[in-house]
Amino acid sequence: MIIAVDAMGGDNAPEAVVKGSLKAVNSFDDITLKLVGKEDLISNYLEDQSYNQERLQVINATEEITMEDSPAKAIRKKKDSSIVVASELVKKGDAEALIAAGSTGAAMSAGVLKVGRLKGIKRPAISTLFPTENKPTLILDAGANANAEPEYLQQFALMGQIYAKKILNRDKPKIGLMNVGEEKGKGSKLTNEAFELIDNDKRIDNFTGNIEGRDIFTGEYDVIVTDGFTGNVILKTTEGLAEFMFSLLKDALTSDLKSKLGAFLVKDNLKKMKNKVDYREYGGAPLLGLNGIVIIGHGSSDATAFFNAIRVARDTIKEQVVAEIASEIARDGEN
């Protein structure tokens, strides 16, 4: 299986991309990686490294899309940018997946404009894993569609169910609809209409109804469906709260000698807790609903994050998630 990687995307590119890719090709013998970007810069980090050059290739692209660029315009104008060249590989069938960090807008635009939506999919959705008390919960949409329609949320529920079964190994994923109350009829016109569509969709077999924000981290739900505006607010609020809490914890555990001794005694448990909420371990956010696999990485992704993004892309290819989504959409005759 062939995976294209935007080697210039993210705060730590291309070094982190190369290091994560080297680990991946040495860990998985069934993948070939195509690193797309400025060949001279990428090659600097490959010197003196031991790897199979047939399974880790560099494809030159002379332009970059920055955070200051308008994503859709840049995708159209910067035709030799790393993300455009990489997405063209997926579009032409020369790669099965694209991994891109940095500008989420650019990754989304490349996915929609270059890779293209699956037939019948009204809007793609960013799907993000959130840590919980036991197993991660998948939330979608996490930012692709600020203005949503009820039919979008219905399709998000279906795609989330497929992803949870295939990639998260949940036999019968429990699905909830984000709302301001659990009772049927609560919330906005959007959530009320989406509730009816999801509840009546025979392809979705474990929809339990409305849930509230406090239910996200309990681990009770496998998939949580919402619009992109709400999902992105949840994502950014969670990231900010995690940083705040760890900052408070660090201050409390280093304030005096007694606190430092206590911190030393529980350091292994603290490390486990930190790993559980570490975004790098989850491997990026798949943009579901496209005619190919696109994994969006965090802007500050390091080598570990890129390695795990490649792992997720590999699993998604192996489990034929795109074909499964296409099949389920076609089965209901949606267009």
Q: What is the pLDDT along the chain (335 residues), one digit of tens a residue?
A: 999 999 998 889 899 999 999 999 999 999 999 999 999 999 999 988 888 889 999 999 998 888 888 888 889 889 999 999 999 999 999 999 999 998 888 999 999 999 999 999 999 999 999 988 889 999 999 999 999 999 999 999 999 999 999 999 999 999 999 999 988 888 899 999 999 999 999 999 999 999 999 999 999 999 999 999 999 999 889 888 888 877 888 888 888 887 878 777 777 776 776 666 666 677 789 999 999 999 998 888 899 999 999 999 999 999 999 999 999 988 764 44
Q: What are phi and psi of 121, to 5 degrees?
A: -80, 125
* Shared-domain flag, residues 194 and 324: no
Q: Describe the crossing of helices 257-265 and 267-276 by its angle, rounded to 10 degrees.
A: 70
CA 102 to each of CA 16, 65, 190, 319, 327: distance values in angstroms, whole numbers, following the listed order? 12, 9, 31, 27, 32
pLDDT of residue 279: 64
* Shared-domain flag, residues 331 and 231: no
Last residue of a domain, one of 233, 254, 280: 280
* Shared-domain flag, residues 145 and 214: yes
* Shared-domain flag, residues 11 and 105: yes
* Shared-domain flag, residues 210 and 271: yes
* Shared-domain flag, residues 131 and 263: yes
- The sign of the dihedral angle between the CA atoms of 36, 39, 45, 47 is positive
Last residue of a domain, one of 280, 297, 316: 280
First to last CA, the chain: 30
Q: Quote the pTM value.
A: 0.89
Q: CATH number for the domain including 262?
A: 3.40.718.10
* Shared-domain flag, residues 191 and 226: yes
* Shared-domain flag, residues 202 and 230: yes
pLDDT of residue 72: 85
* Shared-domain flag, residues 275 and 133: yes
Please give the single-letter amino acid code of residue 240. Answer: G
223-225 vs 285-288, strand pairing mode: unpaired
* Shared-domain flag, residues 259 and 315: no
* Shared-domain flag, residues 192 and 275: yes
Please give the single-letter amino acid code of residue 114. Answer: K
Range of the domain at 162: 127-280
Task: Quote the number of domains for the chain.
Answer: 2
* Shared-domain flag, residues 152 and 182: yes
- Three-state SS sequence of 15-53: HHHHHHHHHHHHHCCCCEEEEEECHHHHHHCCCCCCCCC
Last residue of a domain, one of 236, 259, 280: 280
